[in-house]
Amino acid sequence: MPRFYGFGSCCVCEIGCTSGNFLDFEGQRFCTACWVEKNNPKHPDLEGIREKVEDSEKEWKCAKWTRDEGPLPLGPKSVKK
C-alpha cells in the first residue's frame, strides 16, 4: 500500500502543507506563513500565522498514524451473501 504524503511541502521553508494552509502560485506551493511574509513582511500577526501552520502540521502527522477506531476493512464486501 503506498504511503500518503499529504499535500507536498512549501518551496520556501520546506514545511509540510496541510489542508487549508497552503497556496499554489505559478507552479510553486507556499504555506500561508511564507506567502504572507513574501507579500506583506510587516504583517502584525506573522509569527502567529507561522505557529498555526507549524502546529497544524504536527497535529496532522500525529493523527495520520493513529488507529483509534480499529483496523481497516480487508476489502469491499461481496454483493451476494
Residues 54-71, mean pLDDT to the nearest whole number: 66
Task: Select the more confidently predicted residue: 80 or 13.
Answer: 13
Check which CATH number belongs to the domain holding 43 and give it: 2.10.110
* CA dist., res. 15 & res. 81, Å (int): 48
Please work out, in degrees rounded to the nearest 5, the angle formed at the alpha carbon of residue 63 by the alpha carbons of 60 and 64.
80
* 12 is a domain residue: yes
Contacts of 28 by beta carbon, 8 Å cutoff, 6+ apart:
11
Grid cell of 1 as nine digits: 500500500
Can you give the pTM of this predicted structure? 0.66
* 50 is a domain residue: yes
Residue 45 confidence (pLDDT): 92
Tell me the residue range of the domain where 20 lies.
1-63
